[in-house]
Amino acid sequence: MFEEAICSYLQTHRFESLNLKAVLFDMDGVLFDSMKNHAAAWHEAMKRYNLQMTPEEAYLHEGRTGADTINIISTRQRKTEATAEEIEKIYQTKSEIFNTLPKAERMPGAYELLQKIKAEGLTPVIVTGSGQKSLLERLNKNFPGIFKPELMVTAFDVKHGKPNPEPYLMGLQKAGVKANEAIVVENAPLGVKAGVAAGIFTVAVNTGPLPDEVLKQAGANLLFPSMMNFNNNWASFYHVIK
């Protein structure tokens, strides 16, 4: 399975090898089991401003910048984009609601996987559409010694969020590697599309309520049912790459 997926990727992009040097991780739903909180916070914040967005829909927008998400909902319902002031108020409300919810736990299997990746001398990079300072600050606490501030791409760093490839292209740039020297680990269809559009081998981990088919249709090169399952299969996967 791993051999076939890697060979297909190499043929598609006309690369000779997958010379792995860096692993680019999404954060929410990959490293933290936080998407339930984001979904609930988006739903409640939108409702307070007379906009409709179900918690389930939040998973489909995962990875977009907050401004893009708000504008999509506003345009759908009001036939016009939100003003800059509205965007700021709605996102601030969403953040305040999010911060009242129970702290998201570390995703099972994530820390174990990161330790293996570091042990192999690979560089872990964060590429998130989140602007939640509360989660960003928790990275070092939950994953001590893993991430460096200069190897993080957040909503504050990019003009175009996922599914645009800009966040992952910036991740490559910060890590100093090429597309065939990295892999992406994502849980959201927009994030998968962004990784694929950047030309990077993209691993999907289905940690949410969406059907596997949604992630496959987004272009995922490999799909695992959880981070723990990916962790358990890491040795075999990395052996094939080497």
Q: What's the CA gap between 202 and 204, in Å, rounded?
A: 6
Phi, psi of 62 (to 5 degrees): -55, 130
Task: Write out the two tokens for 184.
Answer: 């992406």
**Neighbouring-strand partners of residue 127:** 153
How many CB atoms neighbour CB 200 within 10 A? 28
Per-residue buried b or exposed e for 26-35, using 16+ beta carbons within 10 Å of the residue's own CB? bbbbbbbbbb
Helices (H) and strands (E) in the chain, counts: 11, 6
**Is 68 noted as a catalytic residue in this protein?**
no
Q: 28, 33, 68, 212: which one is catalytic?
A: 28
| DSSP 8-class letter at 11 | H
**E-state strands within the chain:** 22-25, 123-127, 152-153, 182-186, 201-205, 222-224
**Is 33 noted as a catalytic residue in this protein?**
no
- List active site positions: 26, 28
